[in-house]
Structure 1
Amino acid sequence: MNKVALVTGGSRGIGLGIAKALAKEGFDLAINGVREEPQVAQTLTELRALGVRVVYLQGNIGTKDGRKQIIDGLREKYGHIDVLVNNAGVAPRTRCDVFEISEEDYDALMEINQKGTFFLTQEIAKWMADLKKADSDRQMSIVNITSVSAEIASVLRGSYCMSKAATSIMSTVFAIKMAEFGIPVYEIRPGVTETDMIEAVRETYHQGVKSGMTLEPRMGQPEDIGKVAAALIRGDLPYSTGQIISVDGGMNIKRM
């Protein structure tokens, strides 16, 4: 029986990079997204071509019903879970000064990036704990994808930064709780990564890289994060639960 990984937001961008890396490791996949399945059919076919089983679990993690739909589908399709990758997230609806953020936009972002991620993790973590109690040799893990924005603030993306900072401390809280069951929890902080999320400001980031924003002179790629996630999930960083891994080309290094 293959191990199963649930990757939220796994049909594109960083989530897809992680899904591909885990498929190459032999994980059967549960890919979550909000789009209708026909819209992601080609992506699912590409993942299945890597030789693993892939199911699509449509659902919005930002709603209680959406989270139930995802978990019910996972139980029905696989009956167990070994890895949770919390990747789903949204950018602010509008990039604006912190004085101008509306309550509606704030709530919409937090419902997915923080609240939804927390309550999905809560349910999956309880399920994992039960599975571990029944089989102490099971190797399971949780990986939370946050952002350098958990630490590097921007007044034009204030709510996004706050959501990622909250998810970062959530990762620490779950690392403490899941240690009781021998299940490690990690946080990956990507830097500026080539995905559709940055489309509106892509040129700005390209210019930033050229100007030395990162030590490595390129933007990150989804496969960069995928390789790091796979290493954590394989256990290549043992005795390291709760650690934050920055995959940002050196962006967060203090320098003169």
Structure 2
Amino acid sequence: MSQSLDRALGNGIPLGRIVELCGLPGSGRTELCIQLCVCVQIPSELGGLEAEAVYIDTSSNFRTSRLLEIAEGCRNYVFENIDSLHESSWNTKVLKGIHYMETFGVSEFCASIILLEELLQTNDKIKLIVIDNIAFPFKADCLETDRTGILCRTITTLRKIAIQKNIAVILTNEMTTRIGIGVVGALGGVWAHCSGIRLFMAPPHVAVTHNTGKPDSVAEIKITKDGIRDCG
């Protein structure tokens, strides 16, 4: 719903790629994830994918009430005066079109990736996978060596899924401070090169980097009741 962000990405979130959203709390990472889960369900006759999404929530950020607000904002923005699309039927479709998994800790997170692979074997309508957030399960009771191994296996699996199934994978990440560098994405320098595209969110600015074949760029957005929108 932000043309500025779409342009900065080179025509929206691409299928078959891994996109990482980095930002401080309140920067709009979860807002954008929820909006993408709604937008991926827009009917094909209106230019959408008419697909489904998987939302793996590791930090209890997801709110159904916020989802419905953004769904209504999408309905008003995209469908405009189409009377045949009633609010209740659209909301029901949106709710059914998101496969939600809530995880607590590293073990449940790893189990969710296994469940994800099983789900994709029986559902070819899924075109978006969200993990919000990738860093949270590793905050406690996880050695750095174990974390590195799990993350490497996870990113390998997600990259394979993205390419073979032509699915967009969205990962949110936290920010941390590194001496001599400043504020950077969490999980270390090796992880920084794992995602295909990286967004640093600090509204009103979103910096887009690591987008293969495209120059780094900046979008200007704002967070509204209806979701992510252009400034102005």
Instruction: State TM-score, norm by structure 1.
Output: 0.43
Structure ranking higher on relative contact order (CA contacts 8 Å, 6+ apart):
2
Name the one with the larger helix percent: 1
More strand by share: 2
TM-score, structure 2 length as denominator? 0.46
